[in-house]
Chain A
Amino acid sequence: MIDSVDERHGKVCVSTAAALRLQTGCRRMWLERSDEHPSSPGGGVTPCPTSGGERGGSAQRDADGRSTTPNGGGGRCPAVELTFTQMSQHGPHTNDLPRAGGHTQTISVTIDPIRTIALRKIYHSGRREVRAVDGVDLAVDEGQFFGLLGPNGAGKSTIIGMLTTRVLPTSGVAQVYGVDVVSSPARVKQLLGVATQANTLDRSLTVAENLEFHCRYYGIRAREARRRARELLEQFHLMERADAMVSHLSGGMAQRLMVARALAHRPPVLFLDEPTSGIDPQSRINLWDILRDLHKNGQTILLTTHYMEEADALCERVAIIDHGRILADNSPDELKRSIGTDAVLTVLYDGDAAAIARGLEGFPGLRRVEQDGSTLRLVTADTGDVIGRLVELGTAAGRQVRNVTSIPPSLESVFLTLTGREYRE
């Protein structure tokens, strides 16, 4: 089943058979070994059979049609954890197995629900080149609530557009469950539920019909589609409006219906592009509750938002994106910790603060100082000490502090630390 092994880069290439077993429908895949640990009981470490690109011919198949190596069992063999990295559409077609050195080896394969490698989208407007997405690597785990956070125009929607087959990447790879978005868009669309920023509900249909026909687009039979529509209407508290035309719904209801519709065919991955922008605070909170429930039930969700608090409240992992690049990618708590920030202080003096900024150079715990006329903006690990110093330096320079604002660690301070500028929504 394994075609070749690239030890140096830790890559194993599996053939079509494996691809079919993984039910992703792609012809050939590259898998990358990410972890190696002794697993099987017994004595003596046997070198991992996946070495030097060996190929052996003596493959057998078990009752399920699985490929197995001969002389399985016995001794110790490192199990190899493989993660998906890249797919190639070309190459030899073979079911050969590497020689397992007399051992059966178990490979557990993890294919990320969402994976992008060096994803790029460049638009040309006249002679100008606009890098909307500039080399984005993403890997979203099964069941993860992943947030793409960035200001408007950062490239979030373009990334979603590429992953949902509506925008063609200029270069790089984008896959959903290992299925390439460019070569197999129809298959990718089977795996997605999408709620876009704009209200794209079918205005010619009623609320219930929107859900029913959506199910049917995904090959669900009419009777089952109607049943599923009723179930969703209950779940999303829309039953009362089932027969209303969608143009009569309020903004919050329309948004709920969009999310319900995106989930109607039970997609493994849910994409939400700015789902709460432009809806009232109450509807936003309702939608947050729904999304939290979905996440609890194991739904993989990729959410884009320009609301810091939304990413902070909902997402397990957040990628901060600006100018088409990912600046940081971690859990919100880790991101806040990683910048070692206690707070972002904004200090207003009664005159030019350049001398004070110079005086702060080398102050312990101070990560960044920006001076703009009479305003100083400090990113610091220790607020207490620095405030005393600010007053001292101010007095020495003949300046008085007029105002001090302190923002506790937040994704906003992370953004500020990473980009050196204020977050613009």
Chain B
Amino acid sequence: MTIEALPHQLVRPRKTTLPTFMALLSRDIRVLRREFGMFLVRLVMQPLLFVFVFVYVLPKIGGGFEVSGNPNVTFATILVPGLLAVSVNFQGLQAVALPLVREFSWSKEIEDRVLAPVRVWVVGFEKIMVGVFQSLIAAAIVLPVTYFVHAPGQAPHLEPNWPLFVIVLVFSSLLVSAVGLLLGTIIDPNKISLLFSVVLLPVTFLGCVYYPWSALRPIPWLQVLVCFNPLVYISEGFRWALTPQIGHMPAWAITLALVAGSAALTVLSLRTFTRRVVTI
């Protein structure tokens, strides 16, 4: 017995997960390349102005900060890991959440993207990877800016552990990009402006960016409260990797938050994304 007359010889669905993933990624990189000027301005403006005012202008006019009563620790030393954390956070979150909100709402582009021949979560995962990629670029650009811009005598003092820095950077980028996917999926497009005032601003100001976590000891309730802020672990992670001499949160807490947090948020955000895309 033979089976003849195969139906449609061309019908040969094959798995293309990796090529599809790479194509989605290269599409996003093409778009990023086209908008690189804007990307740079958006990225550099905030940290540049911050270090310029606080580490150059203020010390020059006699209003410099002194941290924890230790005159040997310049404010720049506090700011380098802090501003790095803010940039990584802002870039990863924004790179994933903002286009996604648009794709889900008026442009409806998401309907086409999820028709790419892969499981829906792969499309979400690719978006997270784009966020990671942009966060890494952000770190590479912001680190020299915060390191080199300062008034004489106000130079940051770094004692970097580069392998640890890279690990902290990668997990931090993953964490913020996963949060970006989650927010981009659940946020109502009409309330996108709230993303800045309700999420990004409090997270930044209470993210141990401008002061180390240990310096909050005089305000114990705040020291506990900020532990719910993921940015704290990123700032403290960078302090652990770049300025260990000024003290940081216990290493186990940073590791747990960054590794377990990024894994959990990646899973959660991909599930939420899939549920939003596929009508159950």
Contact = CB atoms under 8 A, between A and B. Distances in A.
Interface string B4-16: 1111101111111
B4 A166 contact: no
Interface in A117-161: 142, 161
B73 interface: no
Given A104-B2, A109-B5, A185-B119, A203 B278 contact: no
B16 A218 contact: yes
A185 B119 CA distance: 7
Interface stretch (A192-200, A227-235, A406-414): A192-200
Contacts of A189: 115-118
Interface string A261-300: 1000010100000000000000000000000000000000
Nearest to A162: B279
A186 B112 contact: no
Interface residues of A, number: 65
Interface residues of B, number: 43
Contacts of A166: 111, 114-115, 277-279
Given A21-B6, A186-B117, A201-B109, A167 B13 contact: no
Contact of B11 (A107, A202, A213, A268): A268
A194 B27 contact: no
Given A1-B3, A190-B117, A217 B111 contact: no
Contacts of B216: none
Contact of A204 (B10, B14, B19, B31): B31
Interface string A87-112: 00000000001101000111111110
Contacts of A113: 8
Q: What secondary structure prevails in chain A residues at the interface with B?
A: loop
A344 interface: no
B72 interface: no
A354 interface: no
Nearest to A209: B30
Given A142-B8, A200-B112, A188 B2 contact: no
Interface string B100-117: 000000011111101111
Contacts of A209: 30
A191 interface: yes
Contacts of A187: 13, 15, 117
A80 B100 CA distance: 52
* Interface-centre pick from A62, A66, A202, A209 (highest chain B CB count, 10 A): A202
B278 A68 contact: no
A323 interface: no
A21 B4 CA distance: 10
Nearest to B28: A204
A100 B5 CA distance: 20
Interface in B101-140: 107-112, 114-120
B26 interface: yes
A23 interface: yes
Contacts of B20: 217-219
A196 B109 CA distance: 11
Given A104-B2, A166-B111, A111 B19 contact: no
Nearest to A247: B107
Interface of A: 1-2, 14, 18, 21-25, 49, 62, 66-69, 97-98, 100, 104-111, 113, 142, 161, 164-168, 177-179, 184-192, 194, 196, 198-205, 209, 213, 216-219, 261, 266, 268
5 contacts: A109-B6, A168-B278, A184-B13, A201-B112, A217-B116
